Amino acid sequence: MTLIALLDYASVFIFALTGALVASRQQLDLVGFAFVACLTAVGGGTVRDVLLDRNPVFWIAQPSYIGVACAAALLVFLTAHLFESRLKTLIWLDSFALAVAVPAGTGVALSLGQPVLVVVLMGTITGCMGGLLRDVVLDDVPLVLKQGELYVTAAFAGALTAALARPHFPDALVPLMVCAGVTWALRAGSLALGWRLPVYKSRPPRG
Amino acid sequence: MTLIALLDYASVFIFALTGALVASRQQLDLVGFAFVACLTAVGGGTVRDVLLDRNPVFWIAQPSYIGVACAAALLVFLTAHLFESRLKTLIWLDSFALAVAVPAGTGVALSLGQPVLVVVLMGTITGCMGGLLRDVVLDDVPLVLKQGELYVTAAFAGALTAALARPHFPDALVPLMVCAGVTWALRAGSLALGWRLPVYKSRPPRG
Amino acid sequence: MTLIALLDYASVFIFALTGALVASRQQLDLVGFAFVACLTAVGGGTVRDVLLDRNPVFWIAQPSYIGVACAAALLVFLTAHLFESRLKTLIWLDSFALAVAVPAGTGVALSLGQPVLVVVLMGTITGCMGGLLRDVVLDDVPLVLKQGELYVTAAFAGALTAALARPHFPDALVPLMVCAGVTWALRAGSLALGWRLPVYKSRPPRG
């Protein structure tokens, strides 16, 4: 299995866990769990593949990704009651999913020889789009655009690191690992230590 | 006209009726009716065609689909006041739309020789995505993920039946008809008789 | 630079301004501004390119579009406090963005030799989809489907004018300029003078 396939599988599994956790907060049935898990798990990579015109889309070429997402949904369906706070579990799992999805997207764009800016955007999109779809469809906590947290920023910084480091390494392993580390460190620092960028300050007008 | 084209036209017409009914509940103007009708009517099939890289997308190849959707929008604009309960009409029309869209999606994937899992997913996506887009964009009753009802499950079961039955029949007619029947029976049973799968039970935490 | 590229750049810049204004109303940080600006700016054109199977998508072929959108985001981040009413600014900027995005989408479809109905739909989609994505993702004022205003109608009428006028002119310049004018005039007339189509009148039932 190639490194990119491994990252894709890991990202699918962990994002599927987050999708299923959101489904559990909405008290859906098992098929609902699987649906939301699949949407979250393959959403980001699907947008990446459609934009880059990679045919077929990764989970159509290799439907076992869907099996992995459904297994994650079943796991959460059976065990979600064990977690003390499902929201906290969700947020931290989501940070790990982000940290593997960003290098997965970055790696694909690098392997296609795209320019740096496109590589960075594909990493960011692959990382953020699954969670964004999950939250838009289920109308739940919108993690991606939550005020005063690093999320898109973490994805962007991770992807940028990988794109800049790649020419200096003979294979993609090290840059993609560093990408995962940078992404997760920024997201986790934001969650645990309150790291953030300055937000736009002016009070919004009533209108 | 091929069987798949016939299913596509029927699904476009009925989904367009549901989109226009939602537009009537939001008191949009005639162009708004047509816009929501088209989005709902061709949404699922468009996602299917983009994912399967079928070019051109079905309604670009054959713009008369758009004409059909607009005719449905006009029909609802002129007659919606005749229905005693537009929500009830909407829900039952939606069940018929689902029951023709699932075999339409399944039939396309079967005709492309996709593996069983992809066939089942395409049937499910084609059936569910139009209604999901309609409800996400208009922020109305989200039928697809409504707690304690069979919707994705009905689509999934119908598509699975067709995919498993297909090798045993010389042409696609019987499996796709059975698919429509299974999908509608499960959805209608859920609406009229309360059929459902067990939902996830643990009380969601406050967080 | 071709006329279509010029329209694409102008539409990207102005839609990015509207996305960043919405971000300022949600008090996001600078990266959040850039993310929403890019989503709004390239959303409509991306949907157009994916549907027409134009490869690569315009901003992947020419990443400077992203630079333009980020510059717009930065500009708004630094100056949004100067506007007396950001909502009013947003709505009027959005009308200009619509008036350049519709000819941009129309022009691409015309240059590909698509039939009239597809040309009109591509113009309408390119114009409306960026703003729709912005409003669905950020859950803000949904300008596109706001009751009793011309928006989709303005886009549709502009695109239709261009599609019908095109055969009578040796090059695309005049029809696309007329398209921009018609689109903006209808939208502005709706905003400033209350022009509208009759809306569906029946009181929505309780259900």
For a pLDDT cut of 90, what percent of chain C falls above it?
54
| CA-based nearest residue to C52, from C15, C4, C106 | C106
For residue A200, is pLDDT > 80? no
Residue of B nearest to C132 (CA): B137
C58 close to A (CB below 8 A): no
Q: What is the predicted pLDDT for the residue at C37?
A: 94
Domain count, chain B: 1
In a domain, B198, yes or no: no
Touching B (3+ Cβ pairs <8 A), the chains are: A, C
For residue B160, is pLDDT > 50? yes
Of the residues A53, A132, A153, A200, the best mutation for testing chain C's interface (the one with the most C CB atoms within 10 Å of its CB) is: A200
For residue C145, is pLDDT > 50? yes
Q: Which helix or strand (DSSP H or E) is residue C2 part of?
A: none
Q: List, for residues A158-194, the tens digit of each pLDDT value.
A: 999 999 998 898 888 899 999 999 999 999 999 999 8
Mean pLDDT computed over A84-98: 87
> What gap in Å lies between CA B159 and CA B175, rounded to an integer?
9
| Of residues C132, C156, C199, nearest to B27 (C-beta) | C199
For residue C1, is pLDDT > 70? no
Q: Which residues pair with A29 in a beta bridge?
A: B199
For residue B64, what are the domain limits?
3-193
In a domain, A207, yes or no: no
In a domain, B200, yes or no: no
For residue A207, is pLDDT > 50? no
For residue C206, is pLDDT > 70? no
Three-state secondary structure call for residue B109: helix
A148 close to C (CB below 8 A): yes
**Cβ contacts of C155 on chain B, cutoff 8 Å:** none
C198 close to B (CB below 8 A): yes
| CA-based nearest residue to C140, from C28, C47, C25 | C25
In a domain, C202, yes or no: no
Count how many Cα atoms sit within 13 Å of the Cα of residue C31 in the half-sphere of its side chain: 20
In a domain, C72, yes or no: yes
Q: What is the predicted pLDDT for the residue at C203?
A: 54
In a domain, A203, yes or no: no
A152 close to C (CB below 8 A): yes
| Of residues B28, B85, B88, nearest to C200 (C-beta) | B28
Q: Which residues pair with A95 in a beta bridge?
A: none
Note if the bond before A56 is cis, omega within 30 degrees. yes
In a domain, A20, yes or no: yes
Q: List, for residues B54-88, the tens digit of each pLDDT value.
A: 888 999 999 999 999 999 999 999 988 887 787 88
Which ipTM score applies to this complex? 0.83
For residue B124, is pLDDT > 80? yes
Rounded to the nearest angstrom, the minimum Cα separation between B66 and chain A is 24
In a domain, A201, yes or no: no
Name the one residue in this structure whose structure tokens are 């996400």: B136
Its sign, for the CA torsion B72, B78, B79, B80, is positive
| Of residues C115, C150, C199, nearest to B63 (C-beta) | C115
B136 close to C (CB below 8 A): yes
Touching A (3+ Cβ pairs <8 A), the chains are: B, C
Whole-number mean pLDDT of chain A?
Answer: 88
Mean pLDDT computed over B78-107: 88
Three-state secondary structure call for residue C199: strand
